[in-house]
Every structure is written in structure tokens, then in C-alpha cells.
Amino acid sequence: MNFLALERWSPYAAGAGIGLLSCIAFLLSDKPIGCSTAFARTSGMIEKLFRGNKVNEKPYYQKFLPVVDWEWMLVLGIILGAFISAKLSGQFRLEWIPGLWAGAVGTSVFPRFIVALIGGVIMGFGARWAGGCTSGHGISGTLQLAVSSWIAACCFFIGGIATAMFLFKLLFKG
């Protein structure tokens, strides 16, 4: 069982594992793997804590009820699975600043926090606008040969590459 404690698997092994899990999801649950809807549902649940059942009247939450569903449990599972994996290889540690960021910007927490927060807001907004994310469109959608997902996957990377290049080649260097 040594391979479970490795720090890294070959990307082909990790990818094949995800591909097999996709097949299992279709077979056992009749569902494609996806993540971003769970965030929308959670957002609705949190809003309900403050505004009560009025939130259920919002057209978006009538489409995506703010309740725990299959995909929500999947995201909960991701957290546990990644935690187990990191623990087994001794990689779990609390850390604010990733290495690449530290090299380009520095090690103070506030800039990284703010940029991550802004990035998260834009991505959460974009994921719901696009109707999926890197797993729902990028893997599950492309493997079904869905036209919407192939367009989405290309645009995810066009937007991502342009933004990362702008940040790391221009802004952080200036």
C-alpha cells in the first residue's frame, strides 16, 4: 500500500483514476462529476441563515434548490479525500502563501488574501454564468462530447492563460 503514501502520482495515473470515477458516477448514480453547483447551493443555504425562506423564492434557487444533494456530498468527499491523501504523504500543513506567489510578490498575507478573494468572486460568478467549471465542463462535459463544454473548456484556458500571463509577466514584474 506504499503508493498511497507517495507525495505525487504520475499525472496519467491520477487522470486515469478520475476518468474511472467519472464512469462509476455515470453507472451508479446516473450523474456527471461536477463541483460548482454545490457552491451555489451553499451560498443559498448561507443566505437563508440571514434572510430565511424568502431566499427560496429567488428564481436561481428555484432552479438550484439550496439543499444538500449528490454533488454537494461529492465536494464534501473531495475535502476528505484530499485531506487523507495529504496526511498519508505528510504534506498537510497550514500555509497562506504559495511558492510561486512568494517569489513574485512576497510573503505578506494581505495581498494574497485579497487577490484570492477577488479571484474567487470572479470565478464563482463565471462558473454559474457558464453553467459549470473545470470538472463539470472541462472533464465531464468534454468526455460526453458536449458542444457547450468544449467551447467552455477552451474559454476557461484562454481567460486563465491571459490573466496569469498579465499578472506574472507584467503586473508583478512592474
Partner 1 sequence: MFKTLHEKKGLQLFIGFLIGIGFGFCLQKGGVTNYDVIIGQLLFTDHTVVKIMLTAMLVGMIGVHILKSKGLANLHPKPGSLGTSVIGSLIFGVGFGTLGYCPGTVAGAAAQGNLDAIFGGIVGILIGAGIFAALFPKLRKGILQRGDFGDLTFPRLLKVNPWIIVAPVAVMVLCLLYWIEQTGL
Q: Which of residues 94-133 bind partner 1 (CB under 8 A)?
A: 94-101, 112-133
Q: How far is CA 122 from the centre of its chain?
A: 13
Minimum distance of partner 1 from residue 174's CB (angstroms):
17
CA distance 116 to 112: 6
Q: Which of 59, 23, 37 is nearest to 132 (CA)?
A: 37
How far is C-alpha 4 from the chain's CA centre? 23
Among 48, 68, 106, 170, binds partner 1 (CB under 8 A): 68
Binding test (CB under 8 A) with partner 1, winner from 60, 65, 170, 173: 60
Out of 48, 56, 85, 172, name the contact with partner 1 by CB under 8 A. 85
Which amino acid, 34? G
Q: Which of 49, 137, 173, 174 binds partner 1 (CB under 8 A)?
A: 137
**Packing angle, helices 70-88 and 36-51, rounded to 10:** 110
Cα–Cα distance, 103 to 167 (Å, whole number): 13
d(Cα 100, Cα 107) in Å, to the nearest integer? 10
Q: CB 106 → partner 1: shortest distance, Å?
A: 14
Query: Is 159 a residue that touches partner 1 (CB under 8 A)?
Result: yes
Whole-angstrom Cα distance, residue 83 to residue 97?
Answer: 19
Residue 67 binding partner 1, by CB under 8 A: no
CB of 52 to partner 1, least distance (A): 15
CB of 99 to partner 1, least distance (A): 5
Single out the residue of 48, 56, 75, 105 in contact with partner 1 (rule: CB under 8 A). 75
- Among residues 1, 2, 52, 147, which is the contact residue for partner 1, using CB under 8 A? 147
